[in-house]
Amino acid sequence: MKINPHIFRGYDLRGLVDNDLNSEIVEHLGKAYGTYMKRNGIKKAVVGFDCRATSEEYADALIKGFSWAGIDTINIGMNLVGTFYWAQYYLKAKGGTFVTASHNPAEYNGFKFANDYSETLVSDGMQELRRMVEEEDYEQGEHKGKIEKQDIRAAYFEDIIKKLPVEKKFKVVIDSSCSTAGVIAPDILRQIGCEVIESNCAIDPTFPLGTPDPTEMVVAERLKNKILEVGADLGFSYDADGDRIGIVDDKGNIIWNDVLVALFSIDVLHKHQGAKIMFNTLCSKVVPETIKNYKGEPFMWRTGHSFLKKKNQEIKAAFIGELSGHFFFSADFYNHDDGLYSTLRLLHYLSRTNQSLSEAIKALPKYISSPEIKVGCGDDVKVALMDKIAEKLRADYPQAEVIDDERAGDGVRLEMEDSMFIVRYSQNGPYLTVKFEAKTQEKYNELRKYISELLYKYEEVDWSFGVNVESLN
């Protein structure tokens, strides 16, 4: 079958609706992945989906393909992706697929393909799936797989509430940018006794406020304004499938998620003394400094939740965190990211230590940090551009450490004693991600000017697309 090869990405599939994807194509994906699972000894799968306009339709088409291949499927309906991963354990199903395009715009949809508990296809597995679809390398089952529907949300709520008791009653703002978490997160927070103020929680799959992405400044500012308006203790924002969060404290301070990685590390090291903590290359220097301060062992690895999960099979970190808002509490929960678990984990920590969020943040090292900046760069040129940038950084900063080995993976990080800069290409779309920070405003401004001038030198950079690019001006 003819299919756009570029929709098969590093750790999931994402494409344009009615262009790259339709029900017929998705049914072929179901036949291919059903065959893949069967060849790998998996006979049972879970399917869930987010709030996008085509997600339920695509879930049904996918299940049709699974059934054709002889795979039994349990449809858990519209949920957050963390609930989907949890359901694998609850329903004893190693296989499955969650229908979502995560933080891509409304005109996209896609899939995360589970091939073990808390594990998804990455790199070679995704390319094998592409080959199977292109060659229609499918095997029909001797009998059609059974299809059933099951509502597991109440059981999921009960499990994480039991794991994370919250004694303090918080006043919390939830802003889901009109996406899936808006009709789920308020329910669990009220169940634990929170006063919840819903902001933009009604689902609208056209995403009228823009793509739900907690790393975007416009989302963080909107959440900040609501918190200050209603006098809340803190607020949470979510992406479309709810595996990532963003937070703002009681004073209206926007807390970027690498700072939250540091805060979560303190909580994890309280219970798991001396443990290894893994974080991605986009994270602030606050993270390794905090981990060392609390007697933990910092370990930096490449960006991408599936890459981090895969690496953790080897290094056995107690906790993994990313700037984007993916958090994995592997020693206390499961080796996957779950936005609702992260939400309750933060409230549990603040309740246990009897602190406000602003008080907890005060204890951390201070850096002036940019948000996560995204600028356009074509899929066909973004990889090669990293080598050019690494060479330039080595020439311009001979005393600094330039990290462009497997730890960086898909980018390059410039490491200095008082500052940091990273640029990497995205696995999910035609763009670069940039972040920088420094101890002083003078150094921050100097780095910002350098990075802006650097990127403008390369014709591969497409300035017609950007997120938070004003932070480079």
For 93-134, give the DSSP string.
-SEEEEE--TTS-TTEEEEEEEEETTEE--THHHHHHHHHHH
For 189-241, give the DSSP string.
HHHTT-EEEEES-S--TT-TT-S--TTSHHHHHHHHHHHHHHT-SEEEEE-TT
| Cβ–Cβ < 8 Å for 164, 341 | yes
Q: Which amino acid is it at 371?
A: P
Beta-carbon neighbour count of residue 133 at 10 Å?
A: 21
Beta-carbon neighbour count of residue 243 at 10 Å?
A: 31
Of all residues in the chain, the percent with pLDDT exceeding 70 is: 100
Residues 412, 393: Cα–Cα separation, whole Å = 9
Is pLDDT at 99 greater than 90 in this prediction? yes
* Pairing relationship of beta strands 373-377 and 461-467 according to DSSP bridges: antiparallel
Residues 366, 212: Cα–Cα separation, whole Å = 28
Half-sphere exposure of 144 (CA within 13 A, CB side): 8
Q: Grade residue 307 by pLDDT with cuts at 50, 70 and 90.
A: confident
User: How does pLDDT run across 355-398, given as a tens digit for each residue?
Assistant: 999 999 999 999 999 988 999 999 999 999 999 999 999 999 99
Mean pLDDT of 298-327: 88
Q: What is the pLDDT of residue 305?
A: 72
User: How does pLDDT run across 177-195, given as a tens digit for each residue?
Assistant: 999 999 999 999 999 999 9
Q: Name the fold adopted by 257-338+348-362.
A: Alpha-D-Glucose-1,6-Bisphosphate; Chain A, domain 3 (3.40.120)
| Cβ–Cβ < 8 Å for 181, 351 | no
CATH of 155-254, one of 3.30.2010.20, 3.40.120.10, 3.40.50.720, 3.40.50.150: 3.40.120.10
Q: What is the pLDDT of residue 123?
A: 84
Q: What is the pLDDT of residue 309?
A: 78
Q: Grade residue 209 by pLDDT with cuts at 50, 70 and 90.
A: very high
**pTM surpassing 0.85?**
yes
Helix (H) or strand (E) holding 361: helix 357-362
Q: Comparing 5-151 with 368-472, is the CATH topology the same? A: no
Which one, of 28, 35, 37, lies nearest residue 4 by Cα?
28
Residues 280, 312: Cα–Cα separation, whole Å = 12
Is pLDDT at 5 greater than 90 in this prediction? yes
Whole-Å CA distances, 39 to 32, 115, 160, 228: 11, 11, 34, 55
| Cβ–Cβ < 8 Å for 181, 76 | no
Q: What is the pLDDT of residue 232?
A: 98
Q: What is the pLDDT of residue 324?
A: 86
> Residue 197 pairs with which residues in a beta bridge?
173
Residues 130, 339: Cα–Cα separation, whole Å = 29
* Pairing relationship of beta strands 373-377 and 431-438 according to DSSP bridges: antiparallel
For the chain, give every domain's residue range. 5-151, 155-254, 257-338+348-362, 368-472
User: How does pLDDT run across 22-75, given as a tens digit for each residue?
Assistant: 999 999 999 999 999 999 999 999 999 999 999 999 999 999 999 999 999 999
User: How does pLDDT run across 113-170, given as a tens digit for each residue?
Assistant: 999 999 899 889 999 999 999 999 999 999 999 999 999 999 999 999 999 999 999 9
Residues written for the chain: 473
Q: What is the pLDDT of residue 18?
A: 97
User: How does pLDDT run across 245-294, given as a tens digit for each residue?
Assistant: 999 999 999 999 999 999 999 999 999 999 999 999 989 999 999 999 99
Mean pLDDT of 289-300: 97
Q: Which CATH class is domain 5-151?
A: alpha beta
* Pairing relationship of beta strands 195-199 and 171-175 according to DSSP bridges: parallel
Q: What is the pLDDT of residue 300?
A: 94
Q: List helix spans (H) across 91-208.
A: 124-134, 153-163, 185-191
Residues 212, 192: Cα–Cα separation, whole Å = 25
Q: Which residue has the higher pLDDT, 62 or 307?
A: 62
Beta-carbon neighbour count of residue 374 at 10 Å?
A: 20
Catalytic residues: 102
Structure tokens at 4: 């756009």
Which one, of 255, 213, 247, 451, lies nearest residue 367 by Cα?
255
Q: Which amino acid is it at 75?
A: N
Residues 311, 366: Cα–Cα separation, whole Å = 29
> Residue 205 pairs with which residues in a beta bridge?
none
Q: Is 374 helix (H, G, I), strand (E, B) or coil?
A: strand
Residues 94, 76: Cα–Cα separation, whole Å = 15
Is pLDDT at 425 greater than 80 in this prediction? yes
Which one, of 284, 194, 289, 288, lies nearest residue 235 by Cα?
194
Residue with tokens 């996957």: 336
Domain 368-472: what homologous superfamily? Alpha-D-phosphohexomutase, C-terminal domain (3.30.310.50)
| Cβ–Cβ < 8 Å for 374, 426 | yes
Is pLDDT at 401 greater than 90 in this prediction? yes
Residue with tokens 């799968």: 45
| Cβ–Cβ < 8 Å for 421, 436 | yes
